[in-house]
């Protein structure tokens, strides 16, 4: 079964975020905003790298609601949209303060 490029990137993002929020982040000894942001930066780079390996220089267009975008923009925007509610729920559940200056 062949998935569309959009679905492939959404699956990639979902798997990366699933591993992060079900495995990596809960296992952190200290759950702080800065630690999560640092790990998230690495995971975002992983998502962009894998999507780039699949779609770089292929000319495949991605439909993002009403706009046609390239693979990089689609990957970053969909990762952000999917992750925002996950992060807010995780931060709320673990008492991570989002507004005060970082302490670590």
> pLDDT band at residue 1, thresholds of 50, 70 and 90?
confident
- Copy the structure tokens of residue 13: 């993002």
Q: Is the pLDDT of residue 11 over 80?
A: yes
| pLDDT value at 75 more than 90 | yes
Condensed to tens digits (0 to 9), the pLDDT of residues 76-103 reads: 999 999 999 999 999 999 988 888 766 6
pLDDT in tens, 50-65: 999 999 989 898 998 8
């Amino acid at each position: 079964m062949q998935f569309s490029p959009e679905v492939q990137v959404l699956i990639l993002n979902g798997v990366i975020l699933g591993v992060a929020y079900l495995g990596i982040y809960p296992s952190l000894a200290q759950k702080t905003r800065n630690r999560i942001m640092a790990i998230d930066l690495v995971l975002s780079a992983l998502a962009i790298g894998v999507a780039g390996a699949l779609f770089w220089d292929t000319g495949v267009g991605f439909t993002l609601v009403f706009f046609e975008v390239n693979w990089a923009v689609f990957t970053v925007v969909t990762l952000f949209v999917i992750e925002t509610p996950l992060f807010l729920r995780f931060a709320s559940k673990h008492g991570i303060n989002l507004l005060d200056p970082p302490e670590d």
